[in-house]
Amino acid sequence: MSYCILQIALDTPLDGVFDYRWPCEPGDEPAVGQLALVNFGRREAVGVIVAIRQDSQVPAGKLKDALAVRNQLAPLSGQWLALARFAAAYYHRPLGEVAMPGLPKNLRLSTTVALDRALKKLAKLEDTHDATPANMPALNPEQRQAADAIGGAQGFTPLLLYGVTGSGKTEVYLQACAQVLARDPDAQILVLVPEINLTPQLEANIRTRFPGLMLATLHSSLSEGERMLHWLAAHQGRARIILGTRLAILSSLPKLKLIVIDEEHDPSYKQQEGLRYSARDLAVWRAHQLGIPIVLGSATPSLESWHHAQTGRYRKLELRERAVRDAVLPRVRLVDMERDKPKDGLTGALLHALRQRLEAGEQSLLFLNRRGYAPVLCCESCGWISNCTRCTANMVLHRPEHRLRCHHCSLELRIPHSCPTCGNIDLQPLGRGTQRVEEGLQAMFPQARILRIDADSTRRKGSAQAAFDSVHRGEVDILIGTQMVAKGHDFKKLTLVGVLNPDTALFSQDYRASERLFAQLMQVAGRAGRAGLESEVLIQSRYCTHPLYGAVMRHDYDRFASDLLAERHQAALPPYMYQALLRAEAPELAIAIAFLEQARDALASSTVTINDPIPMTMTRVHNVERAQLLVESNSRPALQAFLTAWVDALRALKSRVRWSLEVDPLDI
Ligand SMILES: [Zn+2]
Ligand SMILES: [Zn+2]
């Protein structure tokens, strides 16, 4: 019997490509890109074959045989492997750790029962292969121009679709899709959206427009069985439109011809743990590798993308008008909370506006990005406050649930009857979350139908969708919610948006806070008046003269972005600087800092600035102390070269501190 050597990437924290022996006649070897089952340590694991060799560096006695090759599954393509290799190199993670988690869990099992079942199910599905669009609405001239530019683009073409809220970006995407599909009957199109709760609306839209095509969705709330089926449909090239959240960027799409990224500025495109990748950035790389167009859409593009459009790297397409006839952008007014003192969090001006909407039978939305009843419970006689014992954070009062909850480590306690330090029974909630605003509204407007939508009210699967449906059906007069309600939704009867407490972000240490606040305010303001009803947005603030609010009032993203870019340039911040962040976690802060000091001194560089370690703003989470060290350079290649050498040096430190490296961090 003769053998070949399979080099297999496995999902391990070690630098994970391993050699295995596989019995086969010459010319009958498995293919690169196939999955294989192997023994790894004491467990069985599935990995992907990344190379096939005749010999191995591993001594023959130590070489194990692979257990099985998944022949029923077509190999992952060389292009897919190249994407995984790029991501691994760019984010400085082991190849297997990048490649494997992108695959459905059911593909990574020891048995093939689930795989075989899914393949059988797929084989029974009929291919309709009819890309003829249906029910396509007429576009206005701006939309037409944009759709033609995307649909007609050849080769790698990054396009920034900059369109005000309600300008009908979705229609532009869909008509561009229709053009691509008309030209290439086998084409696959990947549409990325930031949040799962936005997909039902878009999914329904795609199905109506392309009734003859197979659509696959890929997001984290699918069951494992569904995810397997959808992933396979994409892998086989049979699903023609793939609609997904960030993880979908790593799926196998052999006939990919167009990528659409909706709300490209949204921070949820960034994975915040494990492999901290940016799905948007990987998508641009993937489009470049395949030589296909990619469209990035937003009303408030990220400064990175805006900068690329200004410098000509991206082609800019603009939608300045709202798509619905006579729909204009809402009027934005600032309400000075110093003069108009709020009652239960609501100023007189906002209460008056709410009353008007109720009388007119129109809907209102109150936006407060803070869930719970109050951010902290305190004792006024001794100064006790509800700290979390495990985190540098307060425990949030959740009155309806009778709990104090830490939003960082999920510690839960019953609300104390009296002060734990002095016994005072009169404990006071301080500040205001969505639950408290809801309570105040109910007291002031007992006849109104009030609905709160936040992470607490939508814990059950499907409850978020049910809540949004009831708003769409007009069963809600006043909607109160966190950022969950700010994005994407097209509420036809909504004519008033009230923003309750945006000021804190103005003075954040995070240099991206103002970019985010502006995007958030424009997004939430954009929920109003989309169907042509006259509408307004009231922002309650103590800092009414702040230039950020001025820009929001004028709906002036261009000006805001160019001012902010000038500031970033002067302060040498991204997108003029490339950054990476080394984080360390330890039971004691001094240990984490000591490790980072060693890391700082491990490697000298003339092209990269290595800063001093500092504790993270939220130093302790779940009894773990956290510190970080920033490295930066004005050259991306210089930073990358440094990181490659640095990661080797860090591994050689053999510290027991848990550390992780993040390239292009969003939160510093
Ligand atoms: Zn007390
Ligand atoms: Zn905690």
pLDDT tens track for 242-262:
999 999 999 999 999 999 999
Give me ligand 2 centre to Cα 409, in Å: 4
Q: What is the pTM of this model?
A: 0.94
> Would you identify the CATH topology of the domain 141-319?
Rossmann fold (3.40.50)
228 Cα: distance to centroid of ligand 2 (angstroms): 35
Give 613 Cα–ligand 2 centroid separation in angstroms.
Answer: 24
Ligand 1: centre distance to CA 508 (Å): 30
Looking at residue 125, what is its pLDDT? 87
Alpha carbon of residue 396 to chain centroid: 25
Query: How many A from CA of 281 to the centre of ligand 2?
Result: 32
Ligand 2 center to 407 CA (angstroms):
7
The strand pair at 427-430 and 376-379 is best described as: antiparallel
Give the number of whichever ligand sits closest to the CA of residue 424: 1
* Ligand 2 centroid to residue 557 C-alpha, Å: 37
What confidence category does residue 667 fall into, taking pLDDT thresholds of 50, 70 and 90?
Answer: confident
Please name which ligand lies nearest the alpha carbon of 416. 1
Per-residue pLDDT tens over the stretch 33-48: 999 999 998 999 999 9
Distance between CA atoms of residues 10 and 615, nearest Å = 34
Is pLDDT of 635 > 70? yes
- For the segment 135-194, what is each residue's pLDDT rounded down to a tens digit? 888 999 999 999 999 999 999 999 999 998 888 999 999 999 999 999 998 999 999 999
- How many angstroms does the Cα of residue 623 sit away from the middle of ligand 2? 8
Distance 394 CA to ligand 2 centre (A): 8
CA of 621 from ligand 2 middle (Å) equals 6
Distance 385 CA to ligand 1 centre (A): 8
Ligand index nearest the alpha carbon of residue 383:
1
Q: Kindly identify the ligand whose nearest atom is closest to the C-alpha of 408.
A: 2
Cα 408 to averaged position of ligand 2 atoms, centre (Å): 5
- CATH domain 578-663 topology: Alpha-Beta Plaits (3.30.70)
Residue in 338, 362, 342 with CA at minimum distance from that of residue 351: 342
- Residue 389 alpha carbon to ligand 2 centre in Å: 7
331-336 β-sheet, strand order: 331-336, 536-541, 494-499, 363-367, 478-481, 450-453
* pLDDT for res 191: 97
pLDDT above 70 coverage of the chain, percent: 99
Question: 554: how many CB neighbours lie within 10 A of its CB?
Answer: 13
CA of 457 to the centre of ligand 2 (A): 21
How far CA 637 is from CA of 82, 94, 645, 650, in Å, comes to 19, 20, 13, 20
pLDDT (tens digit per residue) in 261-294: 999 999 999 998 888 999 999 999 999 999 999 9
Let me know if 527 is exposed, middle or buried by CB neighbors in 10 A (0-12, 13-18, 19+). buried
Separation of 425 CA from ligand 1 center, angstroms? Answer: 8
Tell me, in angstroms, the distance from the centre of ligand 2 to residue 395's CA.
7
Which residues lie across from 9 on neighbouring strands? Answer: 17, 48
CATH node for 331-560: 3.40.50.300
- Give the ligand whose atoms come closest to the C-alpha of residue 384: 1
Q: What's the gap in Å between 417 CA and the centre of ligand 1?
A: 11
Using the predicted structure, report yes or no on whether residue 549 has a pLDDT greater than 80: yes
Residue 346 CB contacts under 8 Å (≥ 6 apart), including other chains: 354, 437, 440, 441, 444, 498, 500, 540
Domain with CATH 3.40.50.300 in the chain: 141-319, 331-560
- The number of angstroms, rounded, from the C-alpha of 573 to the middle of its chain's C-alpha atoms is 22
State which H helix or E strand residue 48 sits in. Answer: strand 43-53
Please report which ligand is nearest the Cα atom of 391: 2
pLDDT at 656: 85
- How far is ligand 2, taken at its centre, from the CA of residue 624, in Å? 10
Q: Separation of 369 CA from ligand 2 center, angstroms?
A: 19
Integer CA distances (angstroms), 448 to 242, 359, 363, 435, 473, in order: 40, 10, 10, 16, 15
Mean pLDDT throughout 499-507? 91
What ligand is nearest to the CA atom of residue 379? Answer: 1
Q: What is the whole-number distance in angstroms between the Cα of residue 413 and the centre of ligand 2?
A: 11
CA of 372 to the centre of ligand 1 (A): 22
CA 345 / ligand 2 centre spacing (Å)? 27
DSSP string across 344-398 = TTB-HHHHHHHHHHHHHT-EEEEE-S--SSBSEEEETTT--B-B-SSSSSBPEEE
Q: Compute, in angstroms, the gap from residue 385 CA to the centroid of ligand 2.
A: 14
pLDDT at site 639: 98
CA of 378 to the centre of ligand 1 (A): 8
- For the record, the structure tokens of 355 come out as 């009353």
**Torsion of the alpha carbons at 601, 604, 607 and 611, rounded to the nearest 10:** 10
pLDDT at 14 over 90: no
Residue 546 has pLDDT above 70, yes or no: yes
pLDDT of 445: 96
User: Considering only CA atoms, which of 166, 506, 480, 162 is closest in space to residue 334?
Assistant: 506
CA of 377 to the centre of ligand 2 (A): 15
Q: Tell me how far the alpha carbon of residue 518 lies from the centroid of ligand 2, in angstroms.
A: 29
Q: According to the model, what pLDDT value does residue 221 have?
A: 83
Residue 520 CA to ligand 2 center (angstroms) comes to 27
The Å distance, Cα 431 to ligand 2 centre, comes to: 19
Query: Of 435-449, 503-517, 556-570, 606-620, which range is least confident?
Result: 503-517
Check if the beta carbon of residue 391 is closer than 8 Å to that of residue 383.
Answer: no
Q: How far is CA 19 from the centre of its chain?
A: 36
Distance separating alpha carbons of residues 451 and 471, to the nearest angstrom: 8
Q: Measured in whole angstroms, how far is the alpha carbon of residue 54 from the centre of its chain?
A: 43
519 C-alpha to center of ligand 2: Å?
A: 29
Q: Which ligand is nearest to the CA of 380?
A: 1
Distance CA 557, CA 135 (A): 33
Between the CA of 511 and the centroid of ligand 2 the distance, in Å, is 25
Whose CA is closest to 370, among 418, 407, 422? 407
Pairing of strands 68-69, 331-336: unpaired
What is the model's pLDDT at position 160?
98
DSSP state of 138: P
Give the chain's mean pLDDT. 93
How much distance in Å is there from the Cα of 460 to the middle of ligand 2? Answer: 23
What is the end-to-end Cα distance of the chain in Å, rounded?
57
Å from CA of 433 to ligand 1 middle: 23
Average pLDDT over residues 483-503: 88
Range 3-77+93-103 has CATH code 3.10.450: no
Q: Which ligand is nearest to the CA of 392?
A: 2
Distance (angstroms) between ligand 1 centre and the Cα of 418 equals: 8
427-477 pLDDT, tens digit each: 999 999 999 999 999 999 999 999 999 999 998 888 888 999 999 999 999
Please report the pLDDT score of residue 132 as a whole number: 86
Distance 386 CA to ligand 1 centre (A): 11
What pLDDT score was predicted for residue 254? 97
The ligand minimizing its distance to the Cα of 623 is 2
| Distance of CA 424 from the midpoint of ligand 1 (Å) | 5
Residue 377 pLDDT more than 90?
Answer: yes
H or E segment to which residue 610 belongs: strand 609-610
CA 282, CA 206: separation in Å to the nearest integer?
Answer: 24
CA distance 524 to 543: 19
Residue 276 pLDDT: 93
What is the per-residue pLDDT for 658? 94
Distance CA 216, CA 195 (A): 16
What's the 368 CA to ligand 1 centre distance in angstroms?
A: 29
CATH 3.30.70.60 domain position(s) in the chain: 578-663
> What count of residues does the chain have?
668
Mean pLDDT value of segment 206-234: 94
Residue 378 CA, ligand 2 centroid: distance in Å: 17
Angular region, 33: left φ>0, alpha ψ -120 to 50, beta rest: left
Between the CA of 597 and the centroid of ligand 2 the distance, in Å, is 27
Asked whether 431 and 163 are in contact (CB, 8 A), the reply is: no
Distance CA 505, CA 517 (A): 7
* pLDDT at site 196: 73
Looking at residue 198, its pLDDT comes to: 65
pLDDT tens per residue across span 319-338? 998 877 767 788 999 999 99
Mean local confidence (pLDDT), 14-27: 88
Mean pLDDT, residues 478-496 taken together: 88
Q: Would the pLDDT of 659 be above 90?
A: yes
Cα R_g (the chain), whole angstroms: 27
Task: Please tell me the distance between residue 400's alpha carbon and the centre of ligand 1 in angstroms.
Answer: 23
Say if residue 131's pLDDT is above 90. no
**Phi and psi of 272, rounded to 5°?**
-100, 5
Token code pair at residue 261: 């990224």
What's the 396 CA to ligand 2 centre distance in angstroms?
A: 10
Query: Would the pLDDT of 68 be above 90?
Result: yes
